[in-house]
Chain A
Amino acid sequence: MRSLWFVVPVHGRLPLARICLRQLRRTCDALREHGVEASAVVVSDRASLEAVDVLGLKFAWVVRDNDFPSAKFNDGIQLATDPRFNPSPVEYVVPCGSDDWVDYRLFKEPLPQGNTIFGFQHMSFVREDGREICSPKIGYSGGSGIRIIPSRLLEPLGYRPADEDRRRGCDTSILSNIRRAHPGLEVKHWHLHIRQIVDWKTPGVQLNSYKEVTAIHGADSPADPFEELADFYPAEALQEMRTYYDSLAWAAA
């Protein structure tokens, strides 16, 4: 059976992170049913790890402050892949945000072989009020920040592929350093459907707002997120998210 871990740094927006991590648990369970031994490692300060109930979710964890998000990715990736720390190192890691949902079918076989990483240029963004979703194509050669990375490619980098002192652009740093170690590296893009990855925006702290994302990548045809996602994600998860956005609206009123 193939093995794969999602690597998820958490900082702030804990109610949203809790919902997304619960959905990630469902994603991992679905993958196990389809032949991939999947789990996740959550990296955050101790209070946040407790708040998102990382033990209850049966995920791995690393305690780390938020000074350098890139170091959080490195910690999680190292725990997943380095045989010095993991008795059964995984074959693949997927850096992922704590505000993202992913369709489990992206991570089934076939998984990347040789000097290849799988990337995703199609993803969806939900507006901060939860009332609009759009699905632009991310035109970057590396696609979105979510990628399936074979662990074998990380060994020459000491299983810590990101620059240690980055506060932004962690995914770019990871890809650039892997490219440097493997000059023939190829990023192949998978496309399952336009809602295959969903990034949930909320008011407050986040690196890129819905407005900024749509200004850069375009907004295609905006739609209602809960109607659009019903075909791809569990009703239970959608209901949790709807309740969360309703609570934000109620608090703002």
Chain B
Amino acid sequence: MKYLLLEVRGQRQYRGHHPGAQFVTKLDPALERGIARGNVVMIAEVEPSLAERDFGLPEDWPPPAADAAHTEAPEGASSISKGGKEA
């Protein structure tokens, strides 16, 4: 799927976006026509992603059961810690 960062040109709104506004959307035939007419210009090809954001997981995530299922013990670690009470 190709996503584009676009900017609205001219004096009219484009798909609800005001003149001068930038937005990200999928490339489709109607958008291609808009670009060809000069209603919008492509600024860049982008991949929308969380990578550009500041984010955090819950402090208790992953849950203990998932931990056990999805991660391996570090090398040399005992399979039982503190009598197993922290498991």
* Bound CA–CA A251/B44 (angstroms): 48
Contacts of A87 in B (CB 8 A): 57, 62, 70-71
Q: How many residues of chain A get a CB closer than 8 Å to chain B's CBs?
A: 31
Partner of B3, one of A1, A58, A79, A164: A164
User: B39-69: contact bitstring with A at CB < 8 Å (1 yes, 0 no)?
Assistant: 0000000011111011111111111011100
Nearest A residue (CB) for B48: A164
Which B1-43 residues have a C-beta within 8 angstroms of A?
A: 1, 3, 15-17, 23-26
Partner of B55, one of A58, A60, A163, A167: A60
Answer whether residue A85 sits at the interface, using C-beta atoms and an 8 A cutoff.
yes
Contacts of A79 in B (CB 8 A): 50, 55, 57
Partner of B66, one of A55, A74, A88: A88
**Nearest CB of A to B58, in Å:** 5
New contact pairs (13) apart from A37-B66, A78-B50, CB-CB < 8 Å: A1-B65, A3-B63, A39-B61, A55-B56, A58-B59, A60-B55, A62-B54, A75-B53, A78-B49, A85-B50, A87-B62, A88-B67, A165-B24
The answer to whether B24 touches A60, judged by C-beta atoms less than 8 angstroms apart, is: no
Is chain A's interface secondary structure helix, strand, loop, or mixed overall? loop
If the complex has contacts A37-B66, A78-B49, A88-B66, are A61 and B25 also in contact, measured as CB distance less than 8 A?
no
Answer whether residue A132 sits at the interface, using C-beta atoms and an 8 A cutoff.
no
If the complex has contacts A75-B50, A78-B49, A167-B16, are A85 and B23 also in contact, measured as CB distance less than 8 A?
no
The answer to whether A160 touches B62, judged by C-beta atoms less than 8 angstroms apart, is: no
Contacts of A240 in B (CB 8 A): none
If the complex has contacts A39-B61, A75-B53, are A165 and B3 also in contact, measured as CB distance less than 8 A?
no
The answer to whether A59 touches B63, judged by C-beta atoms less than 8 angstroms apart, is: no
Contacts of A167 in B (CB 8 A): 16
Partner of A62, one of B25, B53, B66: B53
